[in-house]
Amino acid sequence: MLNGRAALRGLAGFLLALAFWFGFSRPYERAIAAGAQTLINLFESPDVTRLQPGNGEILLDRRDFPPGSARPGLPGPDIHFNFVLLVTLFALDRKPLRGEHVARFLAAAAALFFVHVVALVFQVHSVYVTSLGAWSEANYGPVARNFWAAGFHFYQIAGRFAAPFALWWLFGRREEEEPSERPRRAGKKKRRG
């Protein structure tokens, strides 16, 4: 059960995370775009996908797109806003700034970064399989279309909310300390009836 102090810690964590997210979301989008582009390019031959972050969206470009054609914009906050939820969950701990707890949070945040990179890879491929008309059908079969589109759809509907909870459960949870027995007072003896 959530008590008043935990609720205040959670609110403080939420507000601090929100401020941090607003301040650093653009550099963070550059990092996840670079990671996703690297993963995508590993499996492309030739590597043609380019991801260019800017103004709250990540532009999807391919070197084989015709010049002057529209470049799809992928909304970055949809991918990574759940960082705020992760911080809020970790802030609920009785001692959120304890070294061990901060280390567990950093491990969870690194895992969430990996989740964001993979989610962006799925989003890019989802655009490739569903939004490029005849090119999509010529380059992706029905299994691939369902895999990429369903994977990104799952992240959008459930995964982006479930990921912070799962990471908090894996990294932030700790066994509750058992209450120690109260020491008996030396001067009092039990009365026998």
Residue 184 belongs to some domain of the structure: no
Q: Which domain holds residue 126?
A: 4-172
Tell me, what's the pLDDT at 178? 43
Residue 86 belongs to some domain of the structure: yes
Buried b (16+ CB within 10 A) or exposed e, 29-46: beebbebbbeebeeeeee
Look at the chain and report how many structural domains it folds into. Answer: 1
Residue 58 belongs to some domain of the structure: yes
The residues, any chain, with a CB within 8 Å of residue 87's CB and separated by 6 or more, are: 13, 14, 16, 17, 20, 105
Element (DSSP H or E) covering residue 131: none
Residue 181 belongs to some domain of the structure: no
Residue 188 belongs to some domain of the structure: no
Q: What is the pLDDT of residues 31-47, one digit of tens each?
A: 999 999 999 999 988 88
pTM of the model as a whole: 0.82
Total Cβ atoms within 10 A of residue 170: 12
Residue 90 belongs to some domain of the structure: yes
Residue 59 belongs to some domain of the structure: yes
> In this structure, are residues 111 and 168 in contact, taking their beta carbons and an 8 Å threshold?
no
Tell me, what's the pLDDT at 24? 92
For the cut 80, the answer to whether the pLDDT of residue 2 exceeds it is no
Tell me, what's the pLDDT at 165? 94
Q: What is the pLDDT of residues 133-178, one digit of tens each?
A: 888 888 889 999 999 999 999 999 999 999 999 999 999 876 554 4
d(C-alpha 59, C-alpha 54), whole Å: 8
Residue 179 belongs to some domain of the structure: no
